[in-house]
Amino acid sequence: MSRKPILTEAQHVTGALALGLILCLAPKGDAVAQHPSQSEPSDDDLRVYAVHVNRTPSQSWPGYGMYLGNGLVLTASHVPGNFADTKPRAIIAGQDQPTALVKQGSLEGVDLTLLSVDANALPVAMRLRRLPLCERSPFAGDPVVVVTPESAVRSHVLPPSAVPAELRGRFATVIVDVANTGNSGSGVLDARRPCLLGIVSRKISISPVGARLGSPAATRDIAKYFVPVEEIRAFIPPDVPF
C-alpha cells in the first residue's frame, strides 16, 4: 500500500483538528542522566541553555528556544508567530523577560526567529554563558542531545533517505525518537561537545493513501526535522555579536 507523507509543526497545537494538524505532545519524564568525565558537561547541564518562549497572552502549548548568549534567543519562527501580534516573552533562568525582535523568519521559508532580551537583567551566570554554533553540518549517525528546560534526551541524526522522497530536498536533516525529544524551538546539540547543530521545526509522519487524516491507527511518526546549523549561521545577521 502506498503511503503519503504528512508534515506538521513539531508542537502541541490547540485546535489542531480544525487546522488539519496532528497533535504532537510535549515529552514527559526526567532528563537523561549521564556520567561523563569532569571536564565535559553532562546532558542535564545543557538544559541551562534552553528557554521557554511564550506569546502574549501565553499559548496553551509549551514554546521553546535556545539562549545563545549576549541576550540572544533563537527559536522556530512559528513558536512566537508574528512578533508584532504576539509580543513574545522569554523565560530564562526563571526570569520572565520581554523580548525585542532581531530577525523573523517564516514557517514556509526559514523556520527561525531571533529575539533579544536585556542581558544585564539576567543573573550573572547567564550573562557569561555562550552557546556556539557547531563548525560542521550534521551527518547521519551523529549523536545529539535535544534539550528543553525540562529534559535532555539523546537521539541521533538519520540519513536523508529516511525522509519521504518528495520532502527530502527541503527537510533532509532529521532525528529519530519522535515521541521523546523536545518539540518546536528545542535545541539539537552535538552530544560530543556543547555546540548547536539545529532547532527543531517539524514532525514528519506517514499515512496510507486514503486513510483518514489524524487517525491514530493510520498515521505513524517517523522523524523530526530540525533547521540545520548552516541555515542558522546564514540567518543570523552578520552584525549581531554573540
Rounded mean pLDDT, 204-221: 72
Residue 57 pLDDT level (bands cut at 50, 70, 90) = very high
Contact criterion met (CB below 8 Å) for 199 and 180: no
Structure pTM?
Answer: 0.83
**Each residue of 151-209: pLDDT tens digit?**
999 999 999 999 999 998 899 999 999 999 999 999 999 999 899 999 999 999 988 76
Every domain of the chain and the residues it spans: 3-30+132-232, 48-130
Residue 30: pLDDT above 50?
no
Average pLDDT, integer, range 83-98: 96
Residue 214's pLDDT is 58
Instruction: Specify the CATH class of 48-130 in words.
Output: mainly beta
Look up the CATH number of domain 3-30+132-232.
Answer: 2.40.10.10
Q: What is the pLDDT of residue 6?
A: 74
Burial class (CB in 10 A: 0-12, 13-18, 19+), 1: exposed
Give the Cα separation of 201 and 192 in Å (integer). 22
Is it true that 3-30+132-232 and 48-130 share their CATH fold? Answer: yes
DSSP state at residue 211: P
Percent of the chain predicted with pLDDT > 70 = 81
**151 contacts 47 by C-beta, under 8 angstroms:** yes
The stretch 2-23 carries a mean pLDDT of: 47
Beta carbons within 8 Å of 94's beta carbon, 6+ residues apart: none
Q: In one letter, which amino acid is 58?
A: S
